[in-house]
Structure 1
Amino acid sequence: MASSLIGFPLRRGVVSVKFRETSFDLLKDLLSNLNKVNKDNLDGLSTCSGGFKQRRLVEYIFLITQKLRLDPMVGYHAVELLQRFMVKQLTVMLAAIPTQGATSCEDVIFDNLKDSFPLTLFSCVLLANKMFLHHNMIDISTAVRFLHSLGISVSKQTLLESELMVFKGLDYRLSVLNPLMYVEVILEVLGHNEPSIPVERLYLLCHHVLQFITLDQIAIYESLLRITTQSVSPSREQREKFVTVTEDRMLLGAAVIAVAAYILCFRKWQQVVGELNHITGISRRSISEFARVILVHIAGTSSSAV
């Protein structure tokens, strides 16, 4: 596995996760809901989608969750909350800029956002953690001490105000669906449909694969874009259309599982891809193509090696 992987301590109980115990009706409802949310999200994408998922930001969030011993799900959730909040914040602020003096106003806005950004990012982590209370709850005193250890001097009141500001900016809605949720549900359905596939072992590997993709997503999706468009220099129009691919959580979840299957049980890879096609409705070609691109980046070799 590439050395850039941070190596999360896996979620408590991950090793003993029991698949194939959820009822078929519940799985069907979960999968249907995931698919609907994914489609709704793709239909309402902002032109800024993905702008706050750059490697340094994502790595910073992952390192915070690792240091605080939080559930890995918190990190992925915080990334989604940060993206949603910042896009909305920028959209509102920039729309309020008068025509005259627009440049100077933009500079002031970005300076203010830059100054408050570390606290905003940390607030997203705290809010995300509130969605997964079964693992480790971070109280305000611990949070302030942690920020002080990073050289960020802040009072309890300021931190609470920042958290509330982000919460309001998200319209009090924290229940976004992150990529790891898609991986888990698709894996659960896969284990239900095909008992011979070692989904428990795949699950452990999926954590590392998804983390690698999330950290290296710009380079990975750039490679996929060039393959899809068959162009080394895709046009602006092609890039704009490709945003729906970069934000497709169902495709990402399927590709993560396909990559894990390729590494762990190559002889069953075609079978797994076929099952993923049946579960998600995504073509075998799309899943295989994306998986191969990811494998090339993990291996650090040319595409001829996969």
Structure 2
Amino acid sequence: MAKSFFCAPSPSVSFKFREASFDLLTDCLVNLNKRNKDNLNSLSKCSGNFKDKRLMEYIFLMTKELRLDPLAGYHAVELLQRFMVKHLTELLTTPTPQGAAADQPESYEDAVFDKLKEKFPLIVFSCVQLASKLFLHSQIVDNNTAVRILHSVGHSVSKQTVLESELMVLKGLEYRLNAPPNPLIYVEILLEVLGHNEPSIPVEQLYELCHHVLQFVSLQRTAIYDSLLETTTQCVNPSREQREKFVTVTEDCMLLGVGVITVATFILCVRKFEQVKHLIS
């Protein structure tokens, strides 16, 4: 993929800690906690199905090549998850068109997946494109750039097609781009609270390490959460019902944020581990 296809790098944005007031931090925490609980209360049984390792790695690499803020990558993953669950549910619950062979009950479902397979790369890119527009300090992927990038990876599309795909995803999300929780935002706010409550904690260094830990957990989420599920259920082969109930753990951004920070603390300064665990638990 030629570097000239991508936007020029944006000026680096340094995340400054210990500058938010107590009242602002309190409001942020209350808001994030509410959004997290609302999300957990409205989860689909399919939640997490579109957080496959290869797919997330693809989105992270695309975000890096486009020189977007890492926040955009995590947000694109959440947008894709929410859109695909809703979109597939609508497609598969639509009455089978007249003329479909009665003796081939799977033909319509197969046709839906075949058609979706063709559009999927563009849908993924549309989620990244929409996410880029939420973080104005970063680059915004316009349609000209989108067409060039998609062409470079073998997808011949017009600007009109890119626009239609973006609008389809936007409409499918009911124009609510801020609804899905973003795990990196939870990490940032929790670190800010940690730095406010205990100035001796090296939150600036922890922040850099948390990026790596969060990315690792995101890419290895299946192995990590499967191991956690087996441990909590004490069952090598958990039932379908147990897995469906466990979705409230795998999709809990507050829990993930706390876990990422404690792991980063253990790696960076193990002597602070117990103190940090106590402060953010």
TM-score relative to the length of structure 1: 0.84
1:117 alignment counterpart: 120
Alignment counterpart, residue 159 of structure 2, candidates 156, 159, 181 = 156
Kept after mapping to 2: 8 A contact 1:12/1:71: no
Alignment partners' CA distance in 2, 1:40 and 1:170: 16
2:5 alignment counterpart: none
Cα 1:33–1:11 shift into 2, 3 Å: farther
Kept after mapping to 2: 8 A contact 1:11/1:72: no
1:145 alignment counterpart: 148
Alignment partners' CA distance in 1, 2:272 and 2:96: 60
1:291 alignment counterpart: none
Which secondary structure state, in structure 1, belongs to the residue aligned with residue 107 of structure 2?
Answer: helix
Percent of residue pairs identical: 66
Amino acid at match of 2:192: E
Q: Which string of whole-angstrom CA distances, capped at 9 and with x for unpartnered residues, describes residues 189-214 of structure 1?
A: 11111111100100000001000111
1:166 counterpart = 2:181: no
Show structure 1 runs of 4+ deviating over 2 A.
9-14, 97-102
Alignment counterpart, residue 211 of structure 1, candidates 208, 215, 218 = 215
Kept after mapping to 1: 8 A contact 2:126/2:169: yes
1:190 alignment counterpart: 194
Q: CA deviation at 1:11?
A: 8.9
Cα 1:110–1:215 shift into 2, 3 Å: same
135-144 vs 196-205, which moves further: 135-144
Give runs of aligned pairs for residues 251-270 of structure 1, distance below 5 A: 251-270=255-274
Q: CA deviation at 1:13?
A: 2.5
Q: CA deviation at 1:73?
A: 0.6
2:228 alignment counterpart: 224
Amino acid at match of 2:158: S
Kept after mapping to 1: 8 A contact 2:47/2:247: yes
Q: CA deviation at 1:177?
A: 2.3
Amino acid at match of 2:74: Y
2:30 alignment counterpart: 32
**Contiguous gaps of at least 5 residues in structure 2:** 1-8
Amino acid at match of 1:244: T
Alignment partners' CA distance in 2, 1:228 and 1:96: 38
1:303 alignment counterpart: none
What's the Cα RMSD here?
1.6
**Contiguous gaps of at least 5 residues in structure 1:** 1-8, 278-306
Kept after mapping to 1: 8 A contact 2:46/2:85: yes
2:87 alignment counterpart: 89
Kept after mapping to 2: 8 A contact 1:49/1:83: yes
1:302 alignment counterpart: none
232-241 vs 33-42, which moves further: 232-241
Alignment partners' CA distance in 2, 1:177 and 1:56: 21
2:3 alignment counterpart: none
Amino acid at match of 1:231: C
1:239 alignment counterpart: 243
Kept after mapping to 1: 8 A contact 2:194/2:203: yes
Cα 1:239–1:213 shift into 2, 3 Å: same
Kept after mapping to 2: 8 A contact 1:144/1:154: yes
Amino acid at match of 1:43: N
Which secondary structure state, in structure 1, belongs to the residue aligned with residue 246 of structure 2?
Answer: helix
Kept after mapping to 1: 8 A contact 2:10/2:67: no
Cα 1:257–1:36 shift into 2, 3 Å: same
1:13 counterpart = 2:16: no
> What is the aligned residue count?
267
2:4 alignment counterpart: none
TM-score relative to the length of structure 2: 0.92
